[in-house]
Structure 1
Amino acid sequence: MISISLENKVALVTGAGTGIGKAIALKLAEAGAKVAVNYNSSRIDAEKVVSTIVENGGSAKSYQCDATNEEAVKDMYLKIEEELGSVEILVNNAGSLVERCVIEEMSSDLWQTIVDVNQKSVFLCSKYAIPYMKANKNGRIVNVSSIAARNGGGLGAVMYASSKAAVSSFTKGLAKELVGHGILVNAVSPGVITTPFHDRFTSEEARLQFKNVIPLSREGNPSEVADAVLYLVSDLSTYLVGENIEVNGGQLMD
């Protein structure tokens, strides 16, 4: 049986209070990582994630931070270093569709918000993780993109899809920048996963239609995305650089 150990490694998971981020935080903690559970507004949910990890014998702390605010991100990393240690694993999971809106009716403010939430957060959290990882000559960054990055998303989700496509491209470029420093950068692209995201943004009718075009005939579970992330941050993936694992039940195949 293969056992993955992240013993004593410090991992930051952004947007880790619910959904995929929560599953990733729990999975990394189960493998032995000390987990920084980032949240913006979901304080109660994030604290529940921390409590679950601690109750199971792990180590975790929650950190409130708007990942689109540069000063807040800098301060978060300093707090994590002081309380848990230097970040060695970063999972850029924070993101949102924000609001379904067709381009003709979209305001510049909404456009900017979607770009900030999905792109700027990845940029800032990566930027401030890099010095710590370079100092250790080791690190893992996993960005959470989306199937929408490749198929353009559903109605009213053009900017979400575009911003996630930027995340996929950013992953490849950053991977090239950092591979010489012992830092491996990869991504995962979830398909239709059972999360509060789809509860909020996707109708029941649309979700039923999705099942008809997914070869596995079901939505994915957050834990199935977390398994892919665990693989990417482990020693099992030492020859993967700039890759994007599609976790979509066969809905979109290369």
Structure 2
Amino acid sequence: MSRPVTVVTGGSRGIGAAACVRLAAEGHDLVLGYVRDAAAAEATAAAVRAAGARCVAVRADTSEEKDVDRLFDMAAGELGPVTGLVNNAGVTGPLTRFVDVRTEDLRRVLDVNVFGYLLCARRAARDMAARGAGAIVNVSSAAATLGSPGEYVHYAATKAATDALTVGLAKELGPDGIRVNGVAPGVVETDMHAAMGDPDRPAKAAATIPLGRPGQPGEIAAAIAWLLSPDASYTTGTVLRVAGGR
């Protein structure tokens, strides 16, 4: 059998990078989408290749349709038909109360986290439906149900949209042989927190987490890998919460 070919957006760092390496170890060839950090993307691609997989790193802003099409076109041209998508690229903007969020930050968070997911899922669905098989995993967040007051209500709202997308697409695409699921991480130790303005946030959050600690990117990657695997062949429309009990 040919190896699965999986597109991972936001694959250069954090959860996306961990997913790329985990999937490579499980026999996937990877197309790694990234928007800015070419050095981080190449470091992840090198780790993927060291695991014995093929990897193509593609600079792409997933909120731009032409970039999404180029990402999937390069995947098909370099590695073969796309069998999986990990919709992971996301932004939060600075941590702040909702009344203080800048309009430009609201727009960017919506463009990447909602419009970008829609564009990638649509392209993946079109390609996979033509083959009668495929799997999509949308990376959501526990924030979708917690609301994240005082931090990023707008980001939480986009993740609630992600969950609705997951459920609706699973029902629509099931007859085409395409499974659609989500993973909802809690607080995970990545550099996203520094980008939001609070690098110590995971440590501070530990007291509110029943398991007493933040998660690690590899723990989220394991859930993503399972949902893409044959072991999850009867699982669709599920949002798997990996949040330490929150």
Give the direction of change, closer, same or farther, for the CA distance of 1:73–1:82 in structure 2 (3 Å limit): same
1:8 aligns with 2:16: no
Structure 1 residues 214 and 91, CA gap change in structure 2 (3 angstroms): same
Partner Cα separation in structure 2 for residue 107 and residue 163 of structure 1: 16
Whether 1:82 and 2:73 are equivalent positions in the alignment is no
What's the TM-score, normalizing by structure 2? 0.95
Q: Is residue 111 of structure 1 aligned with residue 106 of structure 2?
A: yes
**Partner SS, residue 58 of structure 2:** strand
Instruction: Please state how far the C-alpha of 1:205 moved relative to its aligned partner.
Output: 6.0
Q: Does 1:23 align with 2:18?
A: yes
Q: CA deviation at 1:208?
A: 3.6
Asked whether the equivalents of residues 185 and 242 of structure 2 are also in contact (C-alpha less than 8 Å), the reply is: yes
Asked if 1 retains the 8 angstrom alpha-carbon contact of 2:137 and 2:180, the reply is: yes
1:102-132 deviation digits (Å, cap 9, x = unpaired): 3323343321111011111110011111122
The residue number in structure 2 matching 1:36 is 31
Relative to structure 1, the CA distance from residue 48 to residue 207 in structure 2 (aligned partners, 3 Å threshold; closer, same or farther) is closer
1:71 equivalent among 63, 66, 69: 66
User: How far off its partner does 1:8 sit?
Assistant: 0.7
Aligned 1:27-176 pairs, distance under 5 A: 27-176=22-171
**Counterparts of 1:106 and 1:206 in 2: how far apart (Å)?**
19
Is 1:7–1:31's contact at 8 Å kept on the other side of the alignment?
A: no
Give the Cα separation in 2 of the matches to 1:202 and 1:217. Answer: 23
Of stretches 185-194 and 147-156 in structure 1, the one that deviates more from structure 2 is 147-156
Question: Quick one: which amino acid aligns to residue 233 of structure 2?
Answer: T
Please state how far the C-alpha of 1:99 moved relative to its aligned partner.
Answer: 2.2
Give the distance between the partners of 1:174 and 1:228, measured in 2 at CA: 19
Change (3 A) 1:182 1:111: same
Q: Structure 1 residues 246, 123: CA separation in 2 closer, same or farther (over 3 Å shift)?
A: same
Which residue does the alignment assign to 1:3?
A: none
Per the alignment, in what secondary structure is the counterpart of residue 212 of structure 2? coil
CA distance in 1 between partners of 2:25 and 2:2 (Å): 9
Does the CA contact (< 8 Å) of 1:142 and 1:232 recur in 2? yes
Provide the residue aligned with 1:192 in structure 2: 187
CA RMSD of aligned residues (A): 1.6
Shift of 1:214: 1.3
Detail structure 1 runs of 4+ shifted over 3 Å in the superposition: 202-209
Question: Does the Cα contact within 8 Å between 1:147 and 1:190 map onto a contact in 2?
Answer: yes
SS at match of 2:113: helix
1:183-216 deviation per Cα after TM superposition (whole angstroms, max 9, x unaligned): 0000000001111112332636643442112121
The whole-number CA distance in structure 1 between the counterparts of 2:216 and 2:49 is 23
User: Matched residues in 1 for 2:61 and 2:242: separation?
Assistant: 27
79-88 or 48-57: bigger deviation: 48-57
The one-letter amino acid paired with 1:144 is: V
CA deviation digits over 1:15-58, x for unaligned, max 9? 00000000001111111111001100011111111111212322
Structure-2 separation of matches of 1:102 and 1:212:
22
1:247 and 2:226 matched: no
Identity among equivalent positions (%) equals: 35
Deviation at 1:170, TM superposition (A): 0.8
2:209 paired residue number: 214
Distance 2:228 2:200 in 1: 36
For normalisation by structure 1, the TM-score amounts to 0.92
